[in-house]
Amino acid sequence: SKIYIPFVMAFLFGLILPVGFMYSKDLVKNAVSNRKDIEHGTGVPVLSEFSFLNLTSPIIFNDKSNKDNFILIEQFRHLRSRITSLNGSHSKNTATLITSSVTNEGKSFISSNLAVALANASKKTILLEMDIYKSNISKIFGLPNVVGLTDYLNGKADIKKVIQKCD
């Protein structure tokens, strides 16, 4: 009986040590690996996820024949539907804020294509370019960046000169 004790101990350590290591690794991890991590950590639902693709145009709705664009177009339509259902069918005037604390996370890409998706669904849409240091929205839509939000807020421009229509 005493001869089996080392074997039993080795067997138990062989089972407990790896399981304990794997469990402690999950407890200590400091990264977001999926959407449930975000929802659990913030208590806020994730409305949509987007695939990462190398694109030829920042507005994916311009080239619907590209099958890679088609995937993203459907993801933007899904986001549009989720936002519409989140806001409710009775609400007429809603605002959606796309923001991030880090540069180059796709705020301009998401907001531009979401604006196009909403406009394609016959929703009245206005897209505000709030980034005064690195403006991309006007470039994406090919609009002149002469008068902007800062000029309006400082009283140097009329609202009619600031708002630009895009087709």
3-state secondary structure 58-69: CCHHHCCCCHHH
Q: What is the pLDDT of residues 18-32, one digit of tens each?
A: 888 888 877 777 777
Average pLDDT over residues 133-153: 86
CA distances 3 to 6, 12, 63, Å, are: 7, 16, 75
Question: What is the pLDDT at residue 44?
Answer: 86
Q: How would you class 50 by CB atoms within 10 Å of its CB: exposed for 0-12, middle for 13-18, buried for 19 or more?
A: middle
pLDDT given at position 99 = 84
Shortest CA distance to 114 belongs to which of 90, 146, 140?
140
State the Cα–Cα distance between residues 145 and 97, nearest whole angstrom.
21
Residue type, 166: C
Average pLDDT over residues 33-60: 84
Of 65-74, 88-97, 111-120, the one with minimum mean pLDDT is: 88-97
Sequential DSSP letters for 136-157: -HHHHHT---SS-HHHHHTTSS
- Using the predicted structure, report yes or no on whether residue 10 has a pLDDT greater than 80: yes
Residue 56 has pLDDT above 70, yes or no: yes
User: What is the per-residue pLDDT across 98-123, written as a single tens digit (0 to 9) for each?
Assistant: 888 888 888 889 999 999 999 998 88
**Average pLDDT of the segment spanning 62-91:** 83
